Amino acid sequence: MARTAVAFVCQACGSTHSKWSGRCDDCGAWNTLAEEQAAPPAGTSARSRGKGRPFALEGLAHITAEPQRRVTSVAEFDRVTGGGLVPGSALLLGGDPGVGKSTLMLQALAAYASKGKSAVYISGEEALAQVRLRAARMGLSTSPVQLGAATSVEDILATVAMAQPPDILAIDSIQTLWTSSLDAAPGTIAQVRTATQDLVRFAKSSGTAVILVGHVTKDGQIAGPRVVEHLVDAVLYFEGERGHQFRILRAVKNRFGATDEIGVFEMTGAGLNEVANPSALFLGDRSGLAPGAAVFAGIEGTRPLLMEIQALVAPSAYGSPRRAVVGWDSGRLAMILAVLDARAGLGISGQDVYLNVAGGLKVSEPAADLAAAAALISSFTGRPLPKDCVVFGEIALSGDIRPAAQTEARLKEAAKLGFTSALLPAGSKTADARALSLSPIADVKALAETLVG
């Protein structure tokens, strides 16, 4: 009898190797190759395959009306999914262990079930008693969510196929699932991929919206398998810094909605609270006029969000100055420092520089450049920025400040929160009647002059 073909699959990138080695040649990760049963090579057994059946092709205009979305009533979650879960879709919810994925799932399902709809929560990690205890702590015990503890994909599919398929089925987590059709251990790429495929097929055929919870590995991928991300319709990440109670739900892929939307939650002793006005939360109580802090008027998704950017510039004790960045891109910081030195002649580069986005937020918008530059100059010169001033704008390598998108929304949010002035790019398009006094900045030299006075 022929030996079953085996392959060594990297658990980090999913590439297949014919023999084991300590390091994956494709992604360079160490100790990630695991033995799995190889898939039959494509195109080898043409004779054993059946003949294909032709099917009718259709035009775009035949699409039926958009199916009604399943709105959970956890508004921040619904916003990130693009206005509720689409029937027959599969969604992956990823995040670090302990960030609150199970809590969010339970809360969303409980809210949905309380409206008289059917929601099933399958836990592969926790015993039912633990899930109930958590629900009791969150005051959700009376919600008619149907619970199950299972890890076998066949069992789960058999269970949900018994009755009317549920509206929403959540599996916590995809890494604990296994199917008896494979020899590999639970959590390996082959198992995770097969389980996901089975559940996605179930979603498409039954109309159930399936949510898969997945843990993120150290380097920020969902269970290693990027292979899962393309199987599902939407990928959401739940993030949060340790030591901060804020949690941010972010869509990185969504076939049914925008991907730049975020949902903000606060972890409390009784579950997650939705934060409808995150700006107020992230700014906290700003009372002092410390140098090195600037309020950035940012946009996250469709929502304006104000956040504080803090900088510390200090004389360097060593030959090569230290740089440390939290919540921002370190390459971007290096660029801003270089532009400040080259175009405004500040001479910061030789100093130690620390930059922090308060509240554990991560900023990726280029419009944060000007706020970071303002914070840096303020710390360097020891002069605080005006307390009631917001800053935004992108800095070009030439030192020019480029206008940012959605100027109006940023200014409106700032005015709403009691700010009275703004440093913004020269040439920004604003309506004339404004509650804020605006200082247009043309380039970094002008910025330094404005701040130093």
Are the CB atoms for 84 and 112 separated by under 8 Å? no
**173 vs 171: CA distance, rounded Å:** 5
Kindly tell me which residue out of 9, 12, 109, 138 binds ligand TYD, with binding defined by CB under 6 A: 138
Q: Is 196 in the site for Mg ion (CB under 5 A)?
A: no
Binding-site member from 102, 118, 123, 378 for ligand TYD (CB under 6 A): 102
* 43 makes contact with ligand TYD (CB under 6 A): no
Q: What is the footprint of Mg ion within residues 347-406 (CB under 5 A)?
A: none
| Residues in Cβ contact with 183 at an 8 Å cutoff, skipping those fewer than 6 apart | 36, 37
Per CB under 5 A, the segment of 94-102, 127-135, 345-353, 418-426 that binds Mg ion is 94-102
Q: Which amino acid is at 295?
A: V
- The interface partner of residue 423, options being ligand TYD, Mg ion, none and the CB cut-off 5 to 8 Å by kind, is none
Residue 351 interaction partner, one of Mg ion, ligand TYD, none, beta carbon < 5-8 Å per kind? none
Q: Give the list of residues 6+ apart from residue 250 with CB closer than 8 angstroms, or none.
A: 80, 236, 237, 238, 239, 261, 262, 263
Neighbours of 45 (CB within 10 A): 9
User: Could you tell me the smallest distance in angstroms from the CB atom of residue 90 to ligand TYD?
Assistant: 19
Shortest reach from residue 103's CB to ligand TYD, in Å: 3
- The answer to whether residues 390 and 283 touch, using CB atoms and an 8 Å cutoff, is no
In 3D space, the residue among 291, 292, 273, 237 whose CA is nearest the CA of residue 94 turns out to be: 237
Q: Give yes or no for residue 100 binding ligand TYD (CB under 6 A).
A: yes
Among Mg ion, ligand TYD, none, the one that 304 touches (CB under a kind-dependent 5 to 8 A) is: none
Which of these ranges, 95-103, 185-193, 247-255, 445-453, lies near ligand TYD under the rule CB under 6 A? 95-103
Please report whether residue 149 would count as binding ligand TYD according to CB under 6 A: no
99 part of the interface to ligand TYD, by CB under 6 A: yes
Structure tokens at 138: 């969150």
Among 95, 225, 257, 278, indicate the residue that binds ligand TYD (CB under 6 A). 95
Give me the amino acid identity at 193: R
Residue nearest to Mg ion (CB): 102
106 or 113: CB nearest ligand TYD: 106
Q: Please say which residue, 124 or 224, places its beta carbon nearer to ligand TYD.
A: 124
- Which helix (H) or strand (E) segment holds residue 219: the answer is none
Amino acid, single-letter form, for residue 46:
A
Q: Does 102 help bind Mg ion (rule: CB under 5 A)?
A: yes
SS3 content of the chain, % helix, strand, coil (to 5): 30, 25, 45
Asked if 264 contacts 281 with a C-beta cutoff of 8 angstroms, the reply is yes
Contact positions vs ligand TYD (CB under 6 A): 95, 97-103, 134, 137-138, 267, 269-271
Residues at the contact surface with Mg ion, assessed by CB under 5 A: 102
